[in-house]
């Protein structure tokens, strides 16, 4: 038997002949400084198991491989390291909230396939889910919406909830034990209705704003002209920095309509004072002001690709590409910027399998052909937004196996990937998900027929409109 059922597929496997037991008592572990930080070598033969890693993290990865090899495996030598340094998943806990225990299950699954980032979407129009010690009103007022009306998914009654600093630290620590960095997202200047509900004075009009009950893009965004906006935003960021030790903080920047900014005297004055020609440049200036604050604290920012439109965003940011028809992120990468790929059409796991079959997710190459230096692509991330996902079982159905396919793309070199083999190996990997308490979508749902692709996708999108 010259086959192993491991996800992600190791990049170099040499079969030595025969089989051996993977008895944990025969495991000897060492650190080898000649190996990279995420690089390990693993030998299993009749004499025992030798695992060397460039760091404790690399040893952890070697152990994940060993765990998936099962109780008996072919005698082999694996030399392995990841294709990309950034391998993440994103969880939206705004539209629907998930418990710390449920989040830990996702983290366990991510760690088992050598992912190393959890991007935690914590604020949006439909709720503010970080408890802010400096601005408690943001949370106490902004975390509750009056009802939920996400197309076909309607829920009557108030919906709310937030994470205390202790709960967020618990997630951070749990992740750290599994070599996963938590990157929190505080989305500004758009997607801020929940924050504006608590602080209407920092919108352009200064009028009352409701915590939104539906999905969408809303015109009321943070006013870039008022200094108080930055007082509030930097207070919340200061709270975030105390809870999350990550080098990178995600500050959003997506879907920020400029309707209010065009009419607002404060925003007009800011543009004049700062010599900014367009509202897009004003957003660039807004972003840079926060980036400067983060820099002063030794941190860096990640932004969604829309933030690059201004052309003036600080080159130290990492841009997360999700929907970028004008390829601003490619240009940014070719100018030396760092990007992460979360392509909407391939990696958004909240869209049905009929629109994004597993094989489409798996086969996607995250390095755009026009990017000259592949190393500018830090890696991949699979987001799951939760407008239409209100329970953990359904979340897992949508996320698995697609998130696992993204994990393999993040780790396994393109030349070593194979979609059919991945789908076969996923059958064996499900044992690990069972142990964690996660149930994936059944195999018959992964790659729908052409007929199902059309009808089920139409059904999904018409459902969004049913208010």
Residues of the shown chain interacting with Zn ion in the complex, contacts defined by CB under 5 A: 204, 223, 225, 264, 266-267
Contact 174, 107 (CB under 8 A): yes
- How many residues can be counted in the chain? 467
- Give min distance, CB of 205 to Zn ion, in A: 8
How far does the chain reach from its first CA to its final CA, in angstroms?
Answer: 56
- Give min distance, CB of 225 to Zn ion, in A: 4
204 vs 403 by CB, closer to Zn ion: 204
Contact 42, 30 (CB under 8 A): no
- Give min distance, CB of 273 to Zn ion, in A: 13
- 71 phi, psi to nearest 5 deg: -75, -30
Which residues are CB-contacts of 430 (< 8 A; sequence separation ≥ 6)? 440
- Give min distance, CB of 104 to Zn ion, in A: 41
Query: Rounded to whole angstroms, how far apart are CA atoms 324 and 314?
Result: 19
- Give min distance, CB of 188 to Zn ion, in A: 13
Instruction: For residue 279, give the H/E element and its range.
Output: helix 279-296
212 vs 226 by CB, closer to Zn ion: 226
Look up tokens 């692509």; give the residue.
Answer: 377
- Give min distance, CB of 393 to Zn ion, in A: 43
223 vs 398 by CB, closer to Zn ion: 223
Contact 86, 340 (CB under 8 A): yes
221 vs 378 by CB, closer to Zn ion: 221
90 vs 264 by CB, closer to Zn ion: 264
196 vs 264 by CB, closer to Zn ion: 264
Look up tokens 């758009």; give the residue.
Answer: 190
Burial class of residue 18 in the structure, from the number of CB atoms within 10 Å of its CB (0-12 exposed, 13-18 middle, 19+ buried): exposed
- Give min distance, CB of 306 to Zn ion, in A: 18
Nearest to 429 by CA among 64, 118, 77, 49: 64
285 vs 397 by CB, closer to Zn ion: 285
C-alpha triplet 25, 22, 177: angle, nearest 5° = 70
């Amino acid at each position: 038997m010259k086959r192993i059922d491991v996800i992600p597929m190791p990049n170099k496997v040499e079969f030595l002949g025969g089989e051996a037991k993977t008895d944990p008592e025969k495991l000897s572990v060492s650190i080898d400084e000649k190996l990279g930080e995420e690089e390990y070598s693993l030998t299993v033969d009749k004499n025992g198991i030798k695992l060397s890693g460039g760091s404790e993290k690399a040893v952890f990865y070697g152990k994940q491989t060993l765990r998936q090899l099962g109780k008996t495996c072919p005698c082999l030598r694996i030399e392995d390291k990841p294709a990309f340094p950034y391998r993440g998943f994103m969880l939206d806990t705004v539209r629907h909230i998930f418990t710390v225990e449920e989040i830990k299950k996702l983290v366990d699954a991510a760690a088992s396939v050598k992912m190393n980032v959890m991007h935690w979407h914590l604020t949006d129009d439909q709720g503010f889910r970080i408890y802010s010690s400096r601005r408690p009103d943001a949370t106490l007022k902004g975390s509750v919406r009056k009802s939920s009306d996400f197309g076909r998914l309607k829920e009557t009654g108030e919906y709310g909830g937030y994470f205390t600093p202790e709960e967020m630290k618990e997630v951070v620590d749990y992740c750290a034990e599994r070599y996963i960095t938590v990157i929190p997202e505080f989305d500004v200047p758009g997607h801020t209705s929940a924050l504006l509900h608590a602080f209407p004075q920092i919108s352009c009009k200064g009028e009352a704003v409701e915590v939104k009950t539906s999905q969408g893009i809303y015109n009321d965004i943070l006013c870039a002209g008022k200094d108080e906006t930055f007082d509030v935003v930097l207070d919340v960021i200061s709270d975030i920095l105390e809870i999350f030790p990550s080098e990178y903080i995600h500050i959003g920047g997506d879907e920020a309509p400029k309707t209010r900014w065009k009419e607002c005297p404060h925003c007009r004055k800011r543009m004049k004072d700062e010599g900014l020609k367009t509202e897009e440049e004003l957003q660039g200036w807004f972003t840079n002001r926060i980036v400067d604050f983060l820099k002063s604290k030794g941190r860096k920012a990640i932004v969604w690709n829309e933030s690059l439109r201004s052309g003036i965003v600080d080159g130290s940011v990492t841009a997360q590409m999700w929907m970028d028809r004008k390829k601003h992120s490619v240009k940014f990468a070719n100018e030396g910027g760092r990007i992460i790929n979360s392509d909407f059409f391939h990696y958004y796991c909240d869209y049905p399998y009929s629109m994004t079959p597993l094989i489409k997710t798996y086969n996607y190459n995250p390095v755009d052909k026009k990017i000259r230096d592949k190393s500018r692509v830090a890696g991949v991330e699979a987001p799951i937004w939760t407008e239409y996902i209100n329970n953990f079982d359904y979340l897992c159905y949508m996320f698995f196996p697609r998130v696992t396919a993204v994990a393999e793309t993040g780790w396994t070199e393109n030349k070593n990937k194979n979609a059919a083999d991945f789908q076969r190996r996923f059958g064996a990997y499900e044992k690990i998900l069972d142990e964690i308490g996660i149930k994936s979508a059944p195999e018959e749902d992964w790659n729908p027929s052409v007929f199902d692709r059309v009808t089920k996708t139409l059904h999904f999108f018409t459902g969004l409109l049913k208010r």
